[in-house]
Every structure is written in structure tokens, then in C-alpha cells.
Structure 1
Amino acid sequence: MSEKSSTNPGAAGRAPAADRPAALRNVVLVGHSGSGKTTLVEALAQASGAVNRAGRVEDGGTLSDYDEIEHRQQRSVQLSLVPVDWGGIKINLLDTPGYADFVGELRAGLRAADAALFVVSAADGVAGATRMVWDECAAVGMPRALVVTHLEAARADFDEMTRRCALTFGGDDLDAVLPLYLPLYGTPGSDGHAPVDGLIGLLSQRVFDYSSGTRTERAPTDDELPLIEAARNRLIEGIIAESEDETLMDRYLAGEDIDLKTLVGDLETAVARGSFHPVLAAAPAVDGAKQGLGTVELLELITGGFPTPAEREAPAVTGPDGSPRPSLGCDPEGPLAAEVVKTSSDPYVGRLSLVRVFSGTLRPDDTVHVSGHGLTDRGHEDHDVDERVGALSAPFGKQQRPLPLAVAGDLACVAKLTRAETGDTLSAKDDPLLMEPWAMPDPLLPIAIRAHSKADEDKLSQGLARLVAEDPTMRLEHNQDTRQVVLWCMGEAHTDVALERLRSRYGVQVDAVEHKVALRETFSGSAAGRGRHVKQSGGHGQFAICEIQVEPLPGGSGIEFVDKVVGGAVPRQFIPSVEKGVRAQAARGIAAGNPLVDIRVTLLDGKSHSVDSSDAAFQTAGALALREAAAQTRIDLLEPVSEVRVLIPDEYVGPVLSDLSGRRGRVVGTEQSGAGRTLVRAEVPEIEIGRYAVDLRSLSHGTGRFSRGYLRHEPMPGQLAARMREQEAVSA
């Protein structure tokens, strides 16, 4: 941050440790898939001495791509913690997936961090979804800086990328997003592209040369100084504008030379409070070099400009029963309050919980209270139990390095918490607390699954329970209407990872089948039916006759049963039997096996036998009467309709409205929802939005969001209903 010429104040070969919040920094890396987040984490680890030049930790193994699924898919699919040490400061680097399907992992990283590094590729630009995350950070005042990567690309342009970042993230204040360094270009190659060999510090007016493989410092040449004059003046003005010293701007405009220490101090203050967002450049080490371009500058920014955990407000807490509790401070001696931000399974040590400690100190073998809000609609239960903490460790690649304790502000992996799930609170057993949950998106892409074999069927329930315990963005549904097991995921990539984890981690092979929506049936008009159940086979026989009238009712009415029998034609004790038979047949369906709803069934007449009539006989007669009535009129197929709310940038309103129309949707309104965004409300048949989570992402380039909620069932168009019945007949 202060543009020092330090080369490596970290400690190679030693796990970073911190025993006080002031010596901690928690930083989450955010950016679209392919922007270079994981590569940047590795470069920072190498610059700090945590890994060698081959990208390996000192006890063997690589730092990243150690997960089988990530290695096979060539992308990050989960939140990863990499702790490094720089100048006695422990930096917890939280690498998040860039693909939209894994937004739950991103949200967990934001919860655990106190500052964010937004990684943007000079070759690809800023993704629309990245702007949405920026706005989330801005809403909570999280400090943010930007790192430009892929400067080696032929079409990379640092100045243009910085300008676009200012336009995208600066809002009304473009001077809130400015570079701290400018790239120093070397001799162009045969392709005409000049490599970036170093950085010029705008405040210090010093050159940091990486061309030799080790960072060296020198004074700029006479040719280099004019390159930075305009950018330096703008940076100084931007910093002074954020200064708490109101006289500083007047002094600067009067020609006074503001000393470097004052400028750096004001810069660090502005960054920490989230009002100024510096832009840096970074690249991994090449050709056996020890330090990658900009890695030292970035580490100094993190340690000098980002806040300590004590400077960030902890989440609100209550008692597990909702009773009010005082706000928490980041005090190692305070009451214990920690949160599980990620749950995973390790093949060797079993279940691991990544925990952020907000208050107090967590130690191995402590007994803690586990409190959880529960997400019953997603397959998660409420938690209110005591558990014993296992070993504490810091992850680093495949290794788990033992930790003696985790103080307030730190992150650690906890072994053997068998009940705790992501989002649960760990607190003292004699003073249980419950933290306010963070916002978690709803999974909106359904996939129906079934066990591949009998052996898989035996393990399916346990495997699914463990899967949803790890991932709160996943919802498990046992649909009673369609008799399907449904996993609700965030997208196709999320689905692929979930099924692969079932197979590789839990040994459960499943097959994906067509997802069905819960259809209903109803009468299109009035009809009469007669149920006759008469059998005689020696001994007591079966005798029951009933006559009914069926009328359609408005949607949502259910089944209404009316008794209009006179003269005891059907004995009073058997009238409930007729109703029971009618309702049972309605639940089984008439035409295509879908439940029959929204009808009034009136019992008009019947006959009985003093010996052979029985409860069972009249139940059967009631069912037969309903089936006969159904044969006298048309049975309509009812489909569920959802209320859909789509939030999109204004430029995508036209395509979204056209797409909804093609899905038989009825748009009921549009309204502005913040600057440049529109909320579209529509009613759409559920059968048409099974893949809308995927299609909307493609349509809006990842910037659209939607929610859905059941509204009602309504008649399906005749042609479509006929096709559905044909398909159901074939599958039957």
C-alpha cells in the first residue's frame, strides 16, 4: 500500500498464525469464470513464500485443482480458503467460483470476508453479473479493490479496462475508481504486443521492475515520468477528495506538495471505509520467477488498506428463541459466536465445517451449542443441540494444518461436527446464540432423479441428506403428487456437480428422469353417475347402489360432498362410506391418473341390503358412480400456473417479454426497480418454466434474476392436454 520495496516479508515453509484480530485480514476474490481468481491466489501464495516456484506447498501437492470435480471440469465449483502470511499479518484468501450456478459459494465467501478483491480480465472485460455482486458489497459498505489480470493477452489494454471499471463501478463518482500503478511495457515481440515488465507507482513515482524474475525498485527515467503525470494528479485529487482533512484540497490546489505519508494514510482510510476503490494489475510468475507482477503491491494493499475484522460490524444475534441479545464485538475474550460458512466431506477426516469466528475463541475439544434456523423447504432441519468440536485446522491444498485455536476474526476448519450445517451458529453451550442468516438464492432448476439400482436405492436417502447439508442453495423435494424425488438446483452446472458428488463421494449412482408438474383434472360440465356394486359368492355378499350428480366448481374449491338422500334409500351409517369412496377415487384421478378437484358431488339416491350392504361395498359403489359420471362429460386437464417476477436491466425488457409470451405467459405489469432495472410480473404455466433459470441467464447475459410462486391451477389448452394424455398413456 505504501509502495515499499519489500520483496517477501512472509515466512516460507511456515503456516500463518494469528492470535489477535489486528493481525488478520479476510479477503474474498470475486469475478466471472475465467477471470483468473484461482491463478491470482496461487501467485499471492507464491509471492508470500507459502508455495514454491513450481506452485507446490512445502509438504507436497498443488495448492489448487486438487478436487477431483474441479480438476475434471477445469473450473472452480466451491469456496476455497488459502491462508498466507505477509509481514506478520495472516491473510485468509477466499477463492470463490465465478460461474453463476455456484452463487451460494460466493455468498458464503462474502459472509466470511471483511473486504473484496474484484478480479477482471483485461481480455474479457466486466461481466454483468459481477456488477450485481459489486452492488451487494456496496449495500453493506464492504471495502473493494479491483485487480486487472490477463495483461499478456494480445488485445489487453490496462487503461481502457480501468476506464470501463470506473464507468461500471464508479457510479456518479468516476474518481472513486482509479489506478495506483501504471504498467511498464517492455520491448514488443514479433506479434507487436509489448509485455508488461513492471509497474510505476503513481504516488511514490518509483518503478517496480519484475523483468528479472525478482521485484526490484528504481527511479523512473526522464521518458517515464511524463507517462504518469496526468494519472498521478487525478489520483491525488481523488484521494484528497476522500480525506477527513478539509484543508487538504485547498492546500493542494494552492500548489502545496502533499507529502507521501499523508496521501498514503488518507488512501488507506478511504479504502477501508469503502469510499475509494483502487485498481491494480497482477500476473502470475513466469519462467521460474519468484514473484508475479503486482503480487507484492497487492499484498501490501491487503495488509495496509483493508480493514481488520475488528473494524467490521458482526452480524446481529439473538437467542435461539428469538430473544434480543447485545451486539457482538470482535473480542477474543468475548462470548463465543461463530458461523459455519461451508460444509464439505473429506475422504480421510470425514465431515469438515469451515467456520468464521466473529466473537470469542474457538478451541479443539470444546463443547459448543449448535443453533440453526432450518430450511425445511430445502431439506434442512432446525438445530438446537450441543456438539463437541474436533480438531481445528487451516486448509492449504489437500493438506489440513493443525491450529491450536481460532480467535475472533479468524477462519478455521472444524472436524466432526456431525449435526452442524452451512449457516448454523456455534456458541457457548451455557449462552446459546443465533446469528441473523445471510440471503441465499432460491434454487429454480428442477431435476427428477431415481436410483440406478437396488443397491443405490438403499443408499440414496442418506446420500441426498448429506448432499443438501453441504449446500443450502439446493432443495430436496419428495413430490407426493408426481411421486418423484426432485433436486432443485441453481443451473445445469450445479446439477452436474451435485450428481457427480453423489456418485464419487457417497457412492450413489442415480438416473435423471423427466421432471413432471403436478397436474389436476376436473369436470367441464354437470353429469350423473350410478354406482352398482353387487356380488354374491356364498355367505355374506356385497350390495351397494348409489346415484350421484357431479357439478364443476370454481378453481380452488376442492371436493364438496352433499347428501340429499331421502327416505333412507341409503342408510345413514353408509353415507360417509359413499363420500370416502368418492374422495378416494378423486385422489386417484379419472382420465390420466391426476387428482380430480373442484367438483360438487351430490348423493341423490341408492339402494341397500339388510345383510349384504357394508362400508366397503358403499365405498366401491361411490367410486364406480364417480367414474360413470366422468364418462358422461369432458374431463379438463388443469395445469399449475406460477406468478413469475423477473428483474432485469432495461435493455433486456423486450427480449424477456417476447420470451414470456412464447411460454404462454401473461404479463400483468412492469415497473422500475432501481436505476436501469425493470421488474416484470407475469403468470406463466409451470410446465413452460422448467428450464427458465438456464434460459433467462442466456437471454440476459447472466444479469437477470427471477422468482416463482404457485398461483393456481387452470385448464390446459385442449391440443396440449391431448398431447399430454398421449404421453402419459405411452409412459404407463
Structure 2
Amino acid sequence: MGDKASGHTGAAGRAATADRPSSVRNVVLVGHSGSGKTTLIEALALTAGAVNRAGRVEDGGTVSDYDEIEHRQQRSVQLSLVPVEWGGYKINLLDTPGYADFVGELRAGLRAADAALFVVSAAQEPEAIAGATRMVWEECAAVGMPRAIVVTHLETARTGFEELTRVCGEIFGGDDPDAVLSLYLPQYGPQHPDGHAPVTGLVGLLSQKIFDYSSGERKETPPDPDQAPLLQEARNRLIEGIIAESEDETLMDRYLTGADIDIKTLITDLEKAVARGIFHPVLAAAPAADGAKQGLGTVELLELITGGFPTPLEPQSPVVTTPSGAPGPQISCDPDGPLVAEVVKTASDPYVGRLSLVRVFSGTLRPDETVHVSGHGLADRGHEDHDVDERVGALSVPFGKQQRPLGHVFAGDLACVAKLSRAETGDTLSSKDDPLLMEPWTMPDPLLPLAIQAHSKADEDKLSQGLSRLVAEDPTMRLEQNQATHQVVLWCLGEAHADVALERLRSRYGVQVDVVPYQVSLRETFGGKSTGRGRHVKQSGGHGQYAICEIDVEPLPAGSGIEFVDKVVGGAVPRQFIPSVEKGVRAQAARGVAAGYPLVDVRITLRDGKAHSVDSSDAAFQTAGALALREASSDVRIHLLEPVAEVQVLVSDEYVGPVMSDLSGRRGRVVGTEQTSGSRTLVRAEVPEIEIGRYAVDLRSISHGTGQFSRAYARHEPMPQQVADKMRGQGGNGS
């Protein structure tokens, strides 16, 4: 790294290809929104020769061109793949959104990759590096994924590169900050009148060579003797960090006794430590200036990816089962093995229809072959389990808005598959004769409700299909047809996620919807015992209507529902009409008796009544039963019952106080706290659901993006009188 021969083998307009798994590198870019991930990918594509000097592909677009919504919102909202070639290797660069609402796209990128580049902006405050970015780092650490750090925006740095490297060591290194060290130090040019000194090159700490980018192309220059004392401390620390992680235990003894360790040995050990996920180099990078061939640090970064990051052959292959759950065969990254591939992203292209981005873990995928599609485990999000055979359409590799055709995709590589009409994100593709299933990756739970309704009759006809296609593309979204409130609810991860969902419904599927207030499933119950008399007597010529019934109503314990008891004696209400009274009572209970919410947890006892031999009927006694219940409710206090959720909030210790205060302000009851790893606390509380509709957004603000929470229904309980009076003024929910 820094001493190898380098050069690109790609060419603008030609698809990046590989002939074996060992020549593939799958790398996901992770970082806070605005850290410069997409710009970095474009700089790498330029250096690799995948685009021309203006950063454009053949059709005039850029490598990051794909979604119109991204252009309008000026931010990435979905996972995208940019393949480039360097030194005989195909590098699949996976660009992920940095905004927390699109963490599902990030998780998909982590699933498809074998290594991660964490992009950190020097223009941001160091605190911005922590939080959500650190949580992703810990996820990668848990599975042993190799990681490196790239520092961007050095031209507008608030924090010096050396200081930022130290901060990254503290945040990401944990107990071993020396596992996070820089490989190069910035070389600064003449200072401008405003006091700013531009970064013109990099100094290799191992080689002690200067790589000058000031001409727009990387050139090696001799070291400056005056810099040697300043570089020696950083160089010694790097060498000690590499040796500490070396598999050769004799190196440390040799180093401590003053023996000279050659650079090739150090580089080899460095690459092994990076690939094992135990050493995390820090590099600097910047986009190319106008007319330049290479961006600062891009050559060094490409060398790290090809030399230090693992091939698809090295990580442990995922466990597979049969669709029925029986153990499957042990698979490996073998092009000749059984076919096992996974859909990591689903999108709709206006010209070719549905496109599925697929990572092949075993075997070889070819166009026009029939595969088995298995999808299980996401039924709670509107994805029914399915096992179907589908014919694979054309295979291609994306590049901007282009789709460049491929003849096949072997194990370890990624590609787009056309015309898989049933396959959804997270599904497994396998042989139709021996179907297999991979367990889907963990998806965040969408906790922000968005209630919608069709804008017009024409939209109503298209709404169901549009919603099903939307949810098929995005497994982090959950579709709910709420039976209690009769609302269509899209559960999203945040406001930006909801905005993108609405925009996709409108622009991609031609469905205009209106957002309406989200309703929780309130209930009503009696506050005490009461009686009621229902009299329905009408005479208008011919057969009339005659029914009278008298009932007693008393409250029952929570969860009892509606209990109907017949205590009529002497045939006051004929036996054939008692079910009619019950039907009328239950129908009125479903409509509510005070504010229009369903009545629950009461015992209704029919004790007397009157009938007419000619004019009594089923309909008359249904009406009388309903009238009796309404009269009974007029003489007693009716309690509104609201759903209460069990809420668990995981938050950094520094935000525990604000979180608990906020929960109390939402009429919540904190029932306990528990210290967890990583200086975080789990706060358990019970909170009325009506108070946490926007908690997904509010918690992010309170905790500066670091908080997580879950919710589960606990029970219905009486609502405070002042809140109940306000709800009655708003009317029922039509339940």
C-alpha cells in the first residue's frame, strides 16, 4: 500500500468484469449524511478510468445517477452499486444513504459486502462521528467485517487530520485505540492569504515517500529531510500497531531489539490484519479538481481495497435451510456449487420494469434459467411467505442510468436481474430442483405511522397495487389495514422515509394519496352499574313494529369484552327474539355509546320486556336492544380507554435524563432502567400510544440520532378525564 505498482484496467463505457471470485472485492461505504460517500465513489471511478475527466459516463450522466427523488431531495435515499476495475480486480462499490431513515438500505449494503469503508468528514464536529455511525461499526465488529476509515473534506476541515485520527481511535478502537491508525499524513501546500493551506499530497508513513497530487495526477517525489522528525513518531506508532496484530510473534521481539523489519513484511502483515478485521487503517481522500485525472488519496484507497480487503472466498458462507426449515447443505463461494443468491434490493425501472440487485453466494446465475424464489419471515410487514418458480430475465451491471448486459454472474459477485415479478428484497434464489432459504437480515422496526387515503376514485383503484409494490421494494416499511380504525397505515422509519414513500407512490406508481391524522384504537366502558329501557313501537298501517326490552349493565375487568346474559322469565320476551336483542346490543356496542368508540368490558343482562303477537319482529327487537344500551349509558359515566404501550428506549447515558423527562411529559410511567454495554442505558416505560405517534422523530432529536426504541401493546386503560373530554370533542374514529 503505497509501494505497489498500480494502474487501472477499466475504461469509460465498458462494464467492469471479473473471471473468478478471488478477483472480486465487495465494499460498502458507510457514513453520516453529508460525509461525502457518493462524491468519493465518483472520485474512485474517475481514478479507475470508469468515467472521463468530467466525471461523466457515456450517456452524459454520472455514476451516481439513478433516482429522480434523490436529485430532488439532494441526498441518497437508496442503496446503489458502482462497479469499477483496478489492477485486474473488479470492485463493487456499494453506496448507502447516510440518513437514519434509510438504515434498511444500509443493512442491505452490509449484507451484500465483505468489507466496509467508514467515511468521516473533517468538516463535521467530532461528536457527529459517534452515535449512529458507531452503532454500525459495532454491528460490523460483531460479524468480524474488515473496516477502514476515509477522511474527507480536508479542504474545509474543522479538525486536523491527526486529531481526527485520534478521535476515531477513541470512538472506534474501544479498548485498543492503536488498532485505528493512519497510513498516510496529508502534505500541505503554500498557505493562502485567508490562512488556509490546501492539501496537495500524502506522505506514506511506511515508505516515507511523498505522493504529490498537485498536478492532478499522482506523482512520487523524494522525501523532504526536514519532515523526517515530524513523521517518525507517527511511523513508529504505526509499525508497532501492525506488529502487535501480526501473526508472526517473533516480529515484536525483533523490533524491540532494534532489528530492521523490511517494508514488504510490514505491508503483508498490515494487509492480513486488515482482512482479519483487527486493524483499521485511516486514509484521506478528496475529489479530483476540474480537469484532473485523479483525486487525492484515491490510488492509495484502491490499493487498500484490492490488497487489504478480503475476497468473497474468505468470509464464512451464510447458513441455509430448506424452505420447510430443515438443515441445508454447507455452501461455499464456489461457482460450481449449488445456486444460492439473495435479493438485496428491489427497484422499478421505467424502461425494464422490476430490477432485483442480487448477491450470489454460491453457484452461478445465468439468464433465462428457472430458479426457485423463497421468501419467509417478514409476514408481519406485509410480505407473505412464498415459494414460487420464476424465470430469470436479463442479467446486467448498473452504471449510472445504464444497465450493461452480463452473460452470467458467479459466486461472490453482484448483478441486477430483470423480470423477477415475485421476488422481493430479502428473498433467496436457488435451484428449482433443490430449493434453499437464507434467513433474512435483521431489519429495523418501522415505528412512525403514516395514515393515508386515496385522493380520488381513480387513485383508489390503483392504491392497493401501488402499496404492494412499494412494500415489496422496501422491507423496512410495514403496511397495516387497521381493523379497529379502518385506516390504511404505512409504518415508516422517519419523516424522510415517509416523504419518499409518498413521492414514489405519486411519481412511480401514479397514485395520489392524502395524509390523514393517525388514530389509535380507543375504547369505551361503563364507569358503574346502570339500567336501560329500549322501546321501539311504531304503527303506520298494516304490520307495525313493537319491541320493548329492559337491561342491566355492569362493568367487567379489563379484557373481558362484551358478555350478554339472558334472565328473562315468564316469556316476557319470546325466546326467538332474545338473540335479536343480543344482536342489537352488540351492534350498538361496536358503534359506541358516548364518543363513537367500541364499548368493551361490560356485562349486559336482559331481564324483562314486552312483545306483540303480530307486530314484534327480529328487526324491532334489534332496535330496542340498541336503544336500551344507549339509555343505560346516559345515566352513568362512560370511561374512554386508551391503548398503553410497553416502551423500551436504548440511549447513551448522557441522554437518560432528557429521555425520562420527555417520557413523563407524555404521561408515561418509567418502570425501570438497566445499564447495558457501551455506556448505554435501557429505559423501560409504559406510555399511552396516543402520545408516541411521533416518538421515532422526537427521540432522534432528543438523543442526537443515537437513541433506539421498541414498542409493544400492553393493555387498554382509562384515559384521564381532561384528555377524554378533548377526544369526545373530536368525535369517534368510525370504528
- If the TM-score is normalised by the length of the shorter chain, which range does it land in? over 0.9
d(CA) in 2 for partners of 1:238, 1:595? 67
The amino acid across from 1:327 in the alignment is: Q
Say whether residues 1:294 and 2:294 are aligned partners.
no
Say whether residues 1:121 and 2:124 are aligned partners.
no
Say whether residues 1:689 and 2:688 are aligned partners.
no
What does 1:498-647 correspond to in 2, within 5 Å?
498-647=501-650
Q: Which moved more, 1:557-566 or 1:410-419?
A: 557-566
Structure-1 residue corresponding to 2:60: 60
What does 1:654-673 correspond to in 2, within 5 Å?
654-673=657-676
d(CA) in 2 for partners of 1:107, 1:729? 40
Structure-1 residue corresponding to 2:306: 303
Q: Which moved more, 1:426-435 or 1:578-587?
A: 578-587
Structure-1 residue corresponding to 2:430: 427
What does 1:148-297 correspond to in 2, within 5 Å?
148-297=151-300
Which of these residues, 705, 710, 714, is aligned with residue 708 of structure 2? 705
Residue 59 of structure 1: how far off its partner (Å): 4.3
Say whether residues 1:71 and 2:71 are aligned partners.
yes
Residue 544 of structure 1: how far off its partner (Å): 2.0
The amino acid across from 1:41 in the alignment is: I
Say whether residues 1:393 and 2:411 are aligned partners.
no
Residues 571-599 of structure 1 show CA distances to partners (whole Å, capped at 9, x for unaligned) of: 22322222121111111111111100010
Where 2:476 maps in the other structure, the secondary structure is coil
Where 2:573 maps in the other structure, the secondary structure is coil
Structure-1 residue corresponding to 2:18: 18
Residue 50 of structure 1: how far off its partner (Å): 0.2
Residue 373 of structure 1: how far off its partner (Å): 0.8
Where 1:152 maps in the other structure, the secondary structure is helix
Aligned residues of 2:449 and 2:491 also touching (Cα < 8 A): yes
Q: Which moved more, 1:554-563 or 1:356-365?
A: 554-563
Residue 12 of structure 1: how far off its partner (Å): 4.4
Residues 514-563 of structure 1 show CA distances to partners (whole Å, capped at 9, x for unaligned) of: 11111111111110011122233344333222111000111111111112
Aligned residues of 2:79 and 2:97 also touching (Cα < 8 A): yes
Where 1:560 maps in the other structure, the secondary structure is strand
Aligned residues of 1:57 and 1:63 also touching (Cα < 8 A): yes
Structure-2 residue corresponding to 1:714: 717
d(CA) in 1 for partners of 2:733, 2:398? 53
The amino acid across from 1:6 in the alignment is: S
Aligned residues of 1:13 and 1:49 also touching (Cα < 8 A): no
Residue 619 of structure 1: how far off its partner (Å): 1.7
List alignment gaps of at least 5 residues for structure 2. none
The amino acid across from 2:122 in the alignment is: A
d(CA) in 2 for partners of 1:599, 1:664? 26
Say whether residues 1:417 and 2:420 are aligned partners.
yes
Residue 9 of structure 1: how far off its partner (Å): 4.4
d(CA) in 2 for partners of 1:294, 1:221? 19
d(CA) in 2 for partners of 1:44, 1:625? 77
Which of these residues, 323, 332, 336, is aligned with residue 333 of structure 1? 336
Residues 275-319 of structure 1 show CA distances to partners (whole Å, capped at 9, x for unaligned) of: 000000000000311000000000010001000111011221111
Residue 65 of structure 1: how far off its partner (Å): 4.1
Where 2:593 maps in the other structure, the secondary structure is coil
d(CA) in 1 for partners of 2:130, 2:77? 18
d(CA) in 1 for partners of 2:260, 2:276? 25
d(CA) in 1 for partners of 2:558, 2:656? 32
Structure-1 residue corresponding to 2:4: 4
Aligned residues of 1:50 and 1:58 also touching (Cα < 8 A): no
What does 1:451-530 correspond to in 2, within 5 Å?
451-530=454-533
Aligned residues of 2:8 and 2:85 also touching (Cα < 8 A): no
Residue 66 of structure 1: how far off its partner (Å): 4.0
Aligned residues of 2:12 and 2:57 also touching (Cα < 8 A): no
Say whether residues 1:137 and 2:140 are aligned partners.
yes
Where 2:670 maps in the other structure, the secondary structure is strand
Q: Which moved more, 1:168-177 or 1:12-21?
A: 12-21
The amino acid across from 1:237 in the alignment is: E
Residue 346 of structure 1: how far off its partner (Å): 0.5
d(CA) in 1 for partners of 2:206, 2:539? 103
List alignment gaps of at least 5 residues for structure 1. none
Q: Percent identity?
A: 81
d(CA) in 2 for partners of 1:217, 1:280? 17
d(CA) in 2 for partners of 1:482, 1:231? 64
Structure-2 residue corresponding to 1:93: 93
Residue 613 of structure 1: how far off its partner (Å): 2.6
d(CA) in 2 for partners of 1:26, 1:508? 37
The amino acid across from 1:255 in the alignment is: G
Aligned residues of 1:374 and 1:383 also touching (Cα < 8 A): no
d(CA) in 1 for partners of 2:66, 2:311? 30
The amino acid across from 1:167 in the alignment is: E
Q: Which moved more, 1:347-356 or 1:616-625?
A: 616-625
What TM-score results when the alignment is normalised by the length of structure 1?
0.98
The amino acid across from 1:34 in the alignment is: G
The amino acid across from 1:508 in the alignment is: V
d(CA) in 1 for partners of 2:621, 2:205? 92
d(CA) in 2 for partners of 1:486, 1:729? 18
Aligned residues of 1:12 and 1:48 also touching (Cα < 8 A): no
Residues 137-168 of structure 1 show CA distances to partners (whole Å, capped at 9, x for unaligned) of: 00111000000000001534100110000000
The amino acid across from 1:80 in the alignment is: S
Where 2:731 maps in the other structure, the secondary structure is helix
Residue 219 of structure 1: how far off its partner (Å): 2.2
Structure-2 residue corresponding to 1:38: 38
d(CA) in 2 for partners of 1:149, 1:94? 17
- Count of aligned pairs between the two proteins: 732
Aligned residues of 1:7 and 1:215 also touching (Cα < 8 A): no
d(CA) in 2 for partners of 1:41, 1:95? 8
The amino acid across from 1:516 in the alignment is: Q
What does 1:291-370 correspond to in 2, within 5 Å?
291-370=294-373
RMSD: 1.5
d(CA) in 1 for partners of 2:479, 2:685? 26
Where 2:452 maps in the other structure, the secondary structure is strand
Aligned residues of 2:545 and 2:615 also touching (Cα < 8 A): yes
Aligned residues of 1:154 and 1:193 also touching (Cα < 8 A): no
d(CA) in 1 for partners of 2:332, 2:304? 25
The amino acid across from 1:226 in the alignment is: P
Aligned residues of 1:550 and 1:601 also touching (Cα < 8 A): yes
d(CA) in 2 for partners of 1:457, 1:730? 20
Residues 337-373 of structure 1 show CA distances to partners (whole Å, capped at 9, x for unaligned) of: 1011100001111100001101100000010000001
d(CA) in 2 for partners of 1:160, 1:9? 36
Aligned residues of 2:377 and 2:440 also touching (Cα < 8 A): no
What TM-score results when the alignment is normalised by the length of structure 2?
0.98
The amino acid across from 1:119 in the alignment is: V
Residue 614 of structure 1: how far off its partner (Å): 2.6
d(CA) in 2 for partners of 1:121, 1:101? 20
